[in-house]
Chain A
Amino acid sequence: MHRRVAITGVGVVTPLGTGGPAYSSALFGGATGIAPIDRFDAGRFSSRLAAQIRGFTPRDFISPATLRRMDLLSQMATASAVMALADAGLQVEAADRDRIGVIAGTCFGGTDVAAQFGRALFTEGPRRANPILVPNTVMNAPAGHAAVALGLRGVNATVNHREASAEVALAYAAETIARGRADAILAGGGDVLSEFCFEVLSHFKAMSPQDGETEAARPFDARRNGPVIGEGFGLLCLEALETARSRGARIYAEIRGWGMSSAPAPPNDWPADPAGPVLALERALGAAGIDAGAIDAICASANGGRRLDALEADALARVFAPDRQRPLITSLKGALGESFASGGMRAAAMALALKEGRLPPTVGLETPMALLNFVRAPLRAALGNVLVNGFASGGTFATIVLSRPDAKED
């Protein structure tokens, strides 16, 4: 069995707002979600900016009794699931809940909760370790909580592979629907900003300003000096295209193909050779059955990091002919920060872009590092096929092809 897969709903909790309409107006207006941190006192760090989620009231989506059992990340996941289902106009009935699933990606998951659990364990002993915290320490808690809250018994999984977690979750969900293992899957992912993870990233000097200059997120910019950290969750409602059409659902886009690859890299670092990302891009195009020339826009993985952005720019220059006006290349991480399992939010952005014929700009890009068609201001553009790149440190690459449902078929 091979079924085509459609995106029929979007649910997001982002630094640019909660829900598709708020997100899209901020996104296509070129707004930024980056601001001084107020979640915790960042005074002791040399990085003080982050993209924190905005306009999120968990009880708008989750009952108070259920809410109490969840950490913020699982609240974001569950709210995204509720929104994606509602946006798709899918009612979960007893009869079909076994055919609807959740596949989420997360990089850090409940690491902050595990750290809280560990703090009591190591300072007061095992008998003081709080069992209430345990369910939220596991990486699969967000997908589990969302499934419990919505009663979804279909395929459920959590991908935990750094910055590519959510793109792989989308690919696995699409594969699962294509093969008939499920009829609908809420797929994507997210991560939460926590003081614990921020402190560790700070020790690793993994954030702007790595050169001690001005702190900012500047994807693909010659002066980029590291990413600004973000958070957020995004789940897309994926369905078999045929069944979505037959129930008259609004179709944002088709997931037309995806490609994944690996490349030798130092631990937690990027390879210098673009062969890995080039393979992921070529495999995605091959799976979708389209040429590089048919790609109109790319939602890049670049986050303002020195090595990642150079790697991606290099790979894009090799796969796409440099003398054309297409593809247009944008990175949302100038507005959303680097939120690790960001592929749900970013794929949602591109689904909205396909539907509205607009592209969000690369916020923070002033002096392009390469001669590529970077989107530097909000623009309107007819879009047929777009890519979402999810590149992870350690050498993991995923690329997803999204197409307008009425784009040239076969």
Chain B
Amino acid sequence: MTPERVVVTGLGTLNAVAGNVADFRRALQEGVCGIGPVTVFDTAEFRTHAGGQVNGFDPRRSIPKPISIKRMSRSDQLAMAAALEALADAGLWPLPEALRQDTGVIIGGGAGGMLACEAEYDHWLKGNRQPVYSRFASFCCASSADHIAAQLALMGPKTTFMTACSSGATAIGYARDMIQSGRAPLMICGGTEPLCRITYAAFNALQAVDPEFCKPFDQHRMGMSLGEGAGILILEALSHARRRGARILAELLGYGVSCDAHHMTAPDPQAGGAVLCMRAALEDAGVAAAQVDYINAHGTATPANDAMESRAIHEVFGERAGTVPVSSTKSMTGHTLGAAGAIEAVASVLAIAHGFLPPTVHLQAPDPACDLNHVTGGARWAAVNVVLSNSFAFGGNNTALVLGTFTEKGIGHA
């Protein structure tokens, strides 16, 4: 029995460059950088002050009544807003009653409700006032998926991954498994991440943050820019999408997961784990490296990651490593950690659906150690049939997704 094909029928995102998918496409095409001053908390005491913050987010406007936003953290609100946009994009809003029983939710998380919790903890430590304990209630990453499922009355499979910077990609991969194994015909999946002081301090303590803005693959790169946001995909069994006459944006062809088993925070300079997950993803998708038209790189702009990732691309792509276009959209959104894999999956679907290659902005002088075909000097028009999107994380957690143009015959396993 051929496993069910899994297609993308809706997208939603909020991030530093866009409050919705249409604006995100324009920003990716125009090469807009959203990295600027962080104001969701006071950065005065920090070594750096910039980040990819979601500005002008009005949760009450993005999340219509009767959905209650009162007990949601910023992370939950970003995820909810992106989920609603994705459902509307898929032509599923309001969600038909008949779909609620089997629709599932898998979210990749990061700091979860930390922004509110750490403020209460700060008060608690300083003895300023009794903390509002109910703010701790949204601490858990799981609350984003819980809120989405509860508000939409969904009864399909639900869970949350937290694999740091690859959470969003892993969530999308498992959602695909759920559909392929017949456990759910429709999945809401992706990732969400809030900026918060603990995360900001952690990456600063590791000296992994560029004080200005990140410059992926540049020889003068000094680290990442932290960001926040959410990315949500509606994944659907092809037969289900067809039955309801859905517009198909792309096919999720496959994914791969591996571990560096090298170090908790530093990537393996030999790139063993990265190579493994990229190869596993291509094999799962049934496509050859030669078919890949664009690589949406992990590209954090830390010296170690970009050199390692370039090495991995060379190993997997061989001679084509110098010709397959590569870019890091983190140069625009910042590194949104738990949401990154999902926001980049949204970018990859947009690249496929609209036929363009998003650029790496701020890349002036490519590092010789990152000898790749970088998309610089603005986006390019190109036919994009197959995208490989990489997400590598703390803990050595690597996940790669393969997305492709939907054709009747199928690109994979041809």
Interface of A toward B, CB cutoff 8 Å:
69, 97-98, 101-102, 107, 109, 111, 114-115, 117-119, 121-123, 125-127, 129-131, 134-135, 137-141, 143-145, 147-148, 150-162, 164, 168, 172, 175-176, 179, 181, 200, 203-204, 260-268, 275-276, 279, 283, 287, 392, 394-396
Contacts and interface: CB of A to CB of B under 8 A. Distances in A.
B140 A162 contact: yes
A100 B348 CA distance: 30
A156 B140 contact: no
Given A147-B259, A175-B177, A160 B125 contact: no
Contacts of B206: 131, 134
B393 interface: yes
B38 to A, nearest CB: 13
15 contacts: A101-B259, A115-B121, A117-B202, A118-B197, A137-B198, A140-B393, A140-B395, A157-B163, A158-B395, A181-B257, A263-B155, A264-B153, A267-B71, A279-B155, A396-B159
B41 to A, nearest CB: 11
Contacts of B395: 135, 138, 140-141, 143-145, 147, 156, 158
Interface stretch (B141-149, B242-250, B369-377): B141-149
B118 interface: yes
Nearest to B112: A160
Given A140-B163, A147-B259, A395-B150, A153 B202 contact: no
B202 A137 contact: yes
Given A102-B259, A125-B45, A127-B47, 12 more contacts: A117-B198, A117-B202, A122-B126, A135-B264, A135-B395, A143-B395, A145-B264, A148-B261, A153-B273, A156-B259, A158-B397, A392-B142
Interface of B: 45-47, 71, 101, 104-105, 109, 118, 121-122, 125-126, 133, 136-143, 145-147, 149-151, 153-164, 170, 174, 177, 181, 183, 197-198, 201-202, 204-207, 256-265, 272-273, 276, 280, 284, 393-397
A261 B105 CA distance: 10
Given A262-B157, A395-B149, A160 B140 contact: yes
Contact of A109 (B125, B162, B260, B396): B162
Contacts, number: 227
B201 A200 contact: no
B298 to A, nearest CB: 16
B159 to A, nearest CB: 5
Nearest to A74: B264
**Interface pairs A-B: 5 shortest CB-CB:** A144-B395, A156-B259, A160-B162, A135-B264, A394-B146
Contacts of B265: 134-135
B46 A147 contact: no
A162 B142 contact: yes
Contacts of A144: 259, 264, 394-397
Given A144-B396, A279-B155, A264 B125 contact: no
A159 B154 CA distance: 20
B71 to A, nearest CB: 5
A122 B183 CA distance: 45
Contacts of B262: 148
A97 B126 contact: no
A98 B261 CA distance: 10
A240 to B, nearest CB: 16
Contacts of A122: 118, 121-122, 125-126, 197
Nearest to A280: B157
Contact of A139 (B141, B145, B156): B141
A150 B262 CA distance: 10
Given A129-B201, A160-B109, A118 B141 contact: no
Nearest to A168: B159
A97 B261 contact: yes
A139 B199 CA distance: 13
Contact of B397 (A114, A156, A179, A204): A156
B160 A121 contact: no
Contacts of B164: 138-140
Contacts of B159: 159, 161, 164, 168, 260, 396
Given A117-B201, A126-B201, A261-B157, A153 B260 contact: yes
Nearest to A105: B159
Name the residue among B205, B262, B284 with the largest chain A CB count within 10 angstroms.
Answer: B205
Contacts of B205: 126, 129-131, 134
B162 A158 contact: yes
A394 B143 contact: yes
A153 B105 contact: no
Contacts of B258: 98, 101, 153-156
Given A144-B395, A260-B183, A69 B257 contact: no
B337 to A, nearest CB: 10
A150 B341 CA distance: 27
A204 B133 contact: yes
Given A119-B125, A262-B156, A267-B71, A147 B261 contact: yes
A267 B159 CA distance: 15
B158 A262 contact: yes
A153 B258 CA distance: 6
Contacts of B143: 267-268, 394
Contact of B394 (A69, A98, A140, A396): A140
